[in-house]
Every structure is written in structure tokens, then in C-alpha cells.
Structure 1
Amino acid sequence: MPGEARNKVEFGLRNVHYAVITEGDDGAITYGTPTKIPGAVSITMDKSGDMVRFKADDIDYYTAPNNQGYEGTLTIARTPDEFRSDVLGEEKTDGGVMIESADAKTKRIALLFEFQGDVKATRHLLYYCSVDRPSISSTTKDSGDPNTTELAIVASPRPDNNLVKTKTTETTKTQIYDNWYKKVYEKESEIESA
């Protein structure tokens, strides 16, 4: 739109949140209230799904993209105990001990985060993510750099409507932008509130 201030660059990562998914018996998906994951260091999500190519008549007779979402890594300062309980299925005892069981049932999440820009932060949402438990590692302290934790993430298309991701733009309405981390954005709720 003419006159709209637009980002020329993006940088940084902040405001990483997760919202636990509940799937009903009928396949309906609902999201819990987003919870912040402090200490975001970096996120790298590579596209998943290759170009489909069908050869005929000695040419690429038919080609089409195959969007299977994204997969990658979220690096954070440390994995919060709340995330371990909510998402990874670890149990916190009354004595304050975290227990990981091979039988733990992990939960899918929506992942929300933002990249800073020279004008305004762009807010992102991955709708249907699976998270693998992090590795255990540490090193003897010989510098001022603390350890970090990596979470492997697969962001698949949502099974009920194939949505993968969304993000804000320069023309995103203020109400939607300001409420990004209060409730997982759904197009239907935007239509209902209009």
C-alpha cells in the first residue's frame, strides 16, 4: 500500500511461545493459551517436501511443489520445566523432581515467534508442530558462553485444513498484531470479529 512503512531487513529472534494442541475425537483442533519460552537464541526451519517431477516426452511433463511443512531446530538457553511437563510429557513430582519416562506421550504444539525488523517485528506462527526431546550435554566452563539447548521441530500441515504457517505483514490490523501471543490466530476468528 502506498505510504506504508515496510521493513527492509529482518534480524534477531524473540517472543518465542508455544500453545499446546488438543485434538478432539472428531479431529477438531483447539489450542491452549500461548506460553513464553524465555532465552530464544536461534531458529532454523528448512522446507520439507521435494518438487514432484513426472518425465514424459523427454521433458518434465508435469511438475508441482509438495509442501510437507518445515523441519529444523529451535535453540534456547535451557528447556523450561513447564515445557517439559506440558509438551514432552515429563512428570514433576511433589518433591520437585522431573521424571522422564520412555512411555511419556508428547503433545503437538503451535509455535509462535517474531523476527525484528528495521520498522516493525514480523510475527510468525507454525500451526502443527511435533517436538523431540533435547539431548543432554554440557562442557567445563572455560569461557563466558553458557550452554544452549536444541529442540528438533517438525512443522507439518494441520490434518484438518492443511494450514502450515502464517505471519503478520505491514497491513496486519492492530488488534490481530497486539493479540498474537494471547491466542493462536485463526482466519475464522478474524471473520467472526469483523
Structure 2
Amino acid sequence: MPEAEKNKVEFGLRNLYYAVVTETEEDGLTFGTPKKWSGAVSITMDKSGDMVRFKADDVDYYTSPNNQGYEGTLTVALVPDSFKEEVLGEKKTENGVMIESTDAKIKRVALMFEFQGDKKAIRHLLYYCSVDRPSVASTTKDSGEPNTVELAIVASPRPDNNVVKAKTTEEINAELYDSWFTKVYEEKDEESLGN
């Protein structure tokens, strides 16, 4: 098998998908079918968790990274009503009115997206994300620049196995790469892939 060409750079953001997370005692953590979310502008996820340092004998006697996942911002053109209903817990009436309530139960999601590369796009997956509701804002149209919406996101470790994220590499199985956005990747599913 020829060696895969490696990216020298990455850029851009596209192919944003979300999958609703369900947690039950019987089934544990399960993921819904990923849904496309058009209009991705940018995503910035900073690592969460400080370096643990224990001082003894006048030195750093023990140090260890504390991986608490990531937190950051997703900027999009619009938040679709389907996301507001399924994830943010808003309700759409029969006459087409969206209602937001303080009693809304916000669900966690898996977020999937893609960065372009000079050779091949790298696909990413954040398994267990909390998404805060967006602010309401707009400005008088004078420049032709459309508004964008920012959502605060916390990507925590999964409660069932502490996994935070996954991403594709240049050596990824072609079948898995092509189907990345059809189902949330689980390592246990690799046994069914043809190599």
C-alpha cells in the first residue's frame, strides 16, 4: 500500500454536523444520526484543565496534565430551528412560532466538522458537547455583511470511557473516511470495516 501524502497546512471549516446524545441506564451513551448544519463560519476550542503540580523537596515533585476536554466558540450564519428544538429544548407551535422557556432541557451533542488540508481534509469529532443558547443580536444593514451567531461550547470527556475527541489521519481506512458524517465514530465499530 503506498504511503499516504501528508498535509503541510490546514485551513477552512466545513461539513459541520451534530448528533444528539442520549443517555440511559440500559443503553448507556448513544448517538443519533448526524445532521448537517450549513453555514459554519469558525470554531475555536481551547484546552480545558490545568497542569497539576505538586511541590516537594523545593521542586516540582510531581506534574501531570489534567485533561478536562475543550471549551470555546462555534460561529455560524444561523442556528437552525431543528437544532433549537432537538438540542436547546425550544418548542415550535402548530402555527410556526418558536417558544423558549426557562424549563427547557438542553441536550448534549456530538459535533463533527472538517478542516481542509493541502492534500486531504481532516475530519474531527467532539463526542460530548454542551451548547449554550445564543445571544439575540443584529445591527442596521449598512455594509452588506451578514450577521453571525456565536454559541459557547464545552466539550467534556465522555462519562462512559473518558474519550474527548477523535480525528482522521492520512492513513485512515477509506470506507471509514467516506462514511465519517453518517454515524458517530466508535472504536468498537472498526471490527466491521474491511481493510
The alignment of Structure 1 onto Structure 2 pairs a total of residues equal to 194
Task: Identify unmatched segments of 5+ residues in structure 1.
Answer: none
Structure 1 residues 68, 27: CA separation in 2 closer, same or farther (over 3 Å shift)? farther
SS at match of 1:66: coil
CA contact 2:126–2:155 (8 Å) conserved in 1 = yes
Equivalence for 1:29? 29
Shift of 1:4: 2.0
Partner Cα separation in structure 1 for residue 3 and residue 180 of structure 2: 24
The two structures have a TM-score, normalised by structure 1, of 0.97
Equivalence for 1:135? 135
CA-based RMSD = 1.2
Letter matched to residue 4 of structure 1: A
CA contact 1:27–1:160 (8 Å) conserved in 2 = no
Letter matched to residue 53 of structure 1: R
Task: Identify unmatched segments of 5+ residues in structure 2.
Answer: none
Letter matched to residue 110 of structure 2: A
Give percent identity, aligned residues only: 71
Equivalence for 2:56? 56
1:169 matched to 2:174: no
SS at match of 1:83: helix
Structure 1 residues 53, 27: CA separation in 2 closer, same or farther (over 3 Å shift)? farther
Partner Cα separation in structure 1 for residue 68 and residue 27 of structure 2: 19
SS at match of 2:190: helix
Partner Cα separation in structure 1 for residue 171 and residue 89 of structure 2: 39
CA contact 2:14–2:113 (8 Å) conserved in 1 = yes
CA contact 2:74–2:150 (8 Å) conserved in 1 = yes
SS at match of 1:189: helix
Shift of 1:192: 3.9
Q: Deviations over 1:40-78 (max 9, x none)?
A: 000000000000000000000000000000000000001
SS at match of 1:22: strand
Q: After the TM superposition, which residues 35-184 of structure 1 pair with which residues of structure 2 at under 5 Å, given as runs?
A: 35-184=35-184
Letter matched to residue 102 of structure 1: T
Shift of 1:2: 6.9
Partner Cα separation in structure 2 for residue 97 and residue 19 of structure 1: 24
SS at match of 2:95: coil
Partner Cα separation in structure 2 for residue 59 and residue 51 of structure 1: 15
Task: Give the 4+ runs in structure 1 shifted more than 6 A.
Answer: none
